[in-house]
Amino acid sequence: MAVGQGDVAPSQAWDVIVIGSGAAGLTAALALAQTCRVLVLAKGSLTGGSTAWAQGGIAAVLDAGDTFEDHIEDTMVAGAGLNRRETVEFVIERAPRAIERLVELGVPFNADGNSLHLTREGGHSHRRIVHVADATGWAVQQALLRAAEAHPNITLLPGRSCIDLITGRHEQRYSGSGRVWGVYALDEESGRVEAHVARATVLATGGAGRVYQFSTAPRGATGDGIAMAWRAGARVSNMEMMQFHPTCLYSLEVKNFLITEAVRGEGGHLKHPITGHRFMPDYDERAELAPRDVVARAIDDQIKRYGLDYVHLDISHQPPEFVKEHFPNIHEKLLGLGIDMTKEPIPVVPAQHYTCGGVLVDLDGRTDLPGLYAAGECTESGLHGANRLASNSLLECFVFGDAVATHILDNWARFEAPPAVRPWDESRVTDSDEEVVIKQNWGEIRRFMWNYVGIVRTTKRLERAMHRIQMLNGEVEEYYRHFRVSTDLIELRNLLQSADLIVASALKRHESRGLHYTLDYPGMTAPPLDTVLVP
């Protein structure tokens, strides 16, 4: 099943390896485990992905006055027409069933009498977000994990940093087939690199948010899956579409704390911190409930125009009990920082939040590479287009996690047993004596990405970023070839690869659409085209 250095090829393989234990990975694993033996690998802890951090909820048409057509339309409007309608329909029509399955798994969604309570977020024309107060992701992660831990066909292996996919090139009898047979992963405790092999491999590694200095995403969101798939030969698309959430807490003590969009959905207003002017109606008729790209750009404009550090998000006009009931965790967290959101506004700034682009997949979650599937935030499935609609992301994880499993199970007879593969080669590396290189490069990437590839772009700034990426590419590759791998080094390499893909994609798009806004091409060109990069 797994072999380390010097071992001979494995005589036994897993049926399926799932890389990632968030919403997408565990949904796929649970469905596959009906008949397959599944190994789930995760970097760090099993709850270290974005899933556990999700606040607002999951979008689904559950209200009598709501329709699939409206949810589809809202998704396409937010996505600035770049979405693939077929995918949007596929996901949205499967949303009510996905919520039912979560209820069956024991997710304690807030209720409203006999129905689920539905909150509202930007870009949605109806109340359609099911939630567990303001900590939906944690409840979902726990329910999925409980079910996976209890399943006899699932083996969970945390503390494994996957490095690269095993492909035909790693077979003992070299093949240029591009077929994926599993993954090389670093055991974070022992420092050994093991080859995990399987008939099918599913990437569910989340986004690349940490490529930016300010991000709501957890530390491990370094684009590992996207970079691994790219290196193995899969196409990626729309990587320039990085989403910035409008309201991340501005605090000198706490970094990366999200203030859910549901605060605006439940009546919160965005205001100039000195004059108290409510500015969103000046930018868009939907005011605070405009899609995220619009609201983030408006805040960015206020901050730059008036030289501000932050703007205010104010919900103190709502009754205190209403605020505490809807946002218990945020309320408590802010109280600890000396901010009482029932009485005063919250200082907020935009921060990177979601990676809309990723590994190109079809409706079965198939990538370009035989044997390799992908689901969730590491993919570009066509659902989000140029800007993700709030609370459509967890939904995508459930629908595509399931779609991947269905396709593998339906075609199981065609998945041949893996051949003998070569163990990880460490014969030419030594222990690093210059860890400072990793820290320095990591910080540098995140700063120039924030300053040059942020909410408002120009070609000149993108070219500056690309120039720096090219210089760092040589340095990081040389370091990688000479020194033994560590999680930090694996992440740095992937972060740089992700930055490269984002900037290359941004340079290719000669228009402003959704999240990609450039002063050099302020208009939209027709028809909408994906930015597809081919390795």
Cis bond leading into 527, ω under 30°? yes
Q: Which of 13, 15, 36, 43 binds ligand FAD (CB under 6 A)?
A: 43
Quick check: 54 binds ligand FAD (CB under 6 A)? yes
Please list, in sequence order, all residues whose beta carbon lies within 8 angstroms of the beta carbon of residue 530, skipping any fewer than 6 positions away.
82, 237, 238, 380
Considering beta carbons, is residue 197 or 397 the nearer one to ligand FAD?
397
Q: State the residues that interact with ligand SIN by CB under 6 A.
A: 55-56, 260-262, 390-391, 393
Contact pick of 10, 29, 49, 408 for ligand FAD (by CB under 6 A): 49
Q: How far is the CB of 526 from ligand FAD (least distance, A)?
A: 29
- Applying CB under 6 A, among 30, 31, 33, 217 the residue interacting with ligand FAD is 217
- How many Å is the Cα radius of gyration of the chain? 23
* Residues facing residue 368 across a β-bridge: none
CB of 385 closer than 8 Å to CB of 193: no
Q: CA neighbours within 13 Å on the CB side: how many for 88? A: 22
| Contact stretch for ligand FAD (CB under 6 A) within 47-55, 76-84, 236-244, 441-449 | 47-55
Minimum distance of ligand SIN from residue 216's CB (angstroms)? 8
Give, as one character, the DSSP assignment of residue 366: B
CB of 137 to ligand SIN, least distance (A): 9
Q: Which is nearer to ligand FAD, 36 or 258 (CB)?
A: 258
**In the complex with ligand FAD, which residue's Cβ is closer, 160 or 312?**
160
Which residue has tokens 């506004």?
Answer: 345
User: For 337, which DSSP code?
Assistant: T
Instruction: Identify which of residues 36 and 404 has a Cβ nearer to ligand FAD in the complex.
Output: 404
Residue nearest to ligand SIN (CB): 56
How far, in Å, CA of 124 to CA of 75, rounded? 8
DSSP state of 525: P
**Nearer CB in complex with ligand FAD: 287/356:** 356
Could you tell me the smallest distance in angstroms from the CB atom of residue 43 to ligand FAD? 4
**Binding of residue 20 to ligand FAD (CB under 6 A):** yes
Shortest Cβ 54–ligand SIN spacing (Å): 6
- Per-residue binding string, ligand FAD, 151-170, x by CB under 6 A, is ---------xxx--------
**Residue of 292, 297, 366, 493 marked active site:** 292
Tokens of 273: 């911190």
Contacted entry of ligand SIN, ligand FAD, none for residue 91, CB cut-off 5 to 8 Å set by kind: none
By the rule CB under 6 A, 220 interacts with ligand FAD: yes
Residue 34 token pair: 């009906």
* d(C-alpha 175, C-alpha 370), whole Å: 13
Single residue of 13, 16, 24, 533 touching ligand FAD by CB under 6 A: 24
Stretch that binds ligand FAD, among 37-45, 103-111, 144-152, 164-172 (CB under 6 A): 37-45
For residues 217 and 361, which CB has a smaller minimum distance to ligand SIN in the complex?
217
Q: Give 216 or 238: the residue with its C-beta nearer to ligand FAD.
A: 216
CB of 383 to ligand SIN, least distance (A): 12
Q: Does the protein bind ligand FAD through residue 273 (CB under 6 A)?
A: no
Q: Residues in contact with ligand FAD, total (CB under 6 A)? A: 42
Q: How many residues does the chain have?
A: 535
Classify residue 132 by its DSSP letter: S
Residue 246 contacts ligand FAD per CB under 6 A: no
Pairing status of strand 111-112 against strand 115-116 = antiparallel
State how far the Cα of 365 lies from the Cα of 353, in Å rounded to an integer: 23
Residue 292 among the catalytic residues:
yes
Spatial distance between the Cα atoms of 388 and 407, rounded to a whole number of angstroms: 25
Choose the contact partner of 397 out of ligand SIN, ligand FAD, none; CB within 5 to 8 A by kind.
ligand FAD
Q: Give the pair of three-digit tokens for residue 277.
A: 């002017």
Question: Dihedral (C-alpha) 295, 349, 381, 473: value to the nearest 10 degrees?
Answer: 130
Pick what 42 binds: ligand FAD, ligand SIN, none; C-beta below 5 to 8 Å, kind-dependent.
Answer: ligand FAD
132 binds ligand FAD (CB under 6 A): no
**Smallest distance, ligand SIN to C-beta of residue 405, A:** 24
Quick one: what does residue 79 bind among ligand SIN, ligand FAD, none, with the CB cut-off 5 to 8 Å set by partner type? none
Tell me the three state secondary structure of residue 15.
strand
- Sign of the Cα pseudo-torsion (396, 407, 421, 176, in order): negative
Phi, psi of 248, deg, nearest 5: -105, 140
Cβ atoms of residues 421 and 181 within 8 Å = yes
Work out whether the CA dihedral 503, 51, 232, 481 comes out positive or negative: positive
> Does 250 sit near ligand FAD (CB under 6 A)?
no
Site map 379..418 versus ligand FAD, x via CB under 6 A:
------------xxxx--x---------------------
Q: Which of residues 86-105 bind ligand FAD (CB under 6 A)?
A: none
- HEC sequence for 438-470: HHHHHHHHHHHHHHHCCCCECHHHHHHHHHHHH
- CA distances from residue 123 to 24, 462, 508 in whole angstroms, order as listed: 24, 29, 27
Helices (H), ranges, 18-135: 23-32, 68-78, 85-93, 95-104
41 touches ligand FAD by CB under 6 A: yes
Question: According to the binding rule CB under 6 A, does residue 358 interact with ligand FAD?
Answer: no
Tokens of 489: 């080094």
Just list the catalytic residues.
292
Q: Which residues of the chain form contacts with ligand FAD (CB under 6 A)?
A: 19-25, 41-44, 48-51, 53-58, 136-137, 160-162, 204-206, 216-217, 220, 224, 258, 354, 376-377, 391-394, 397
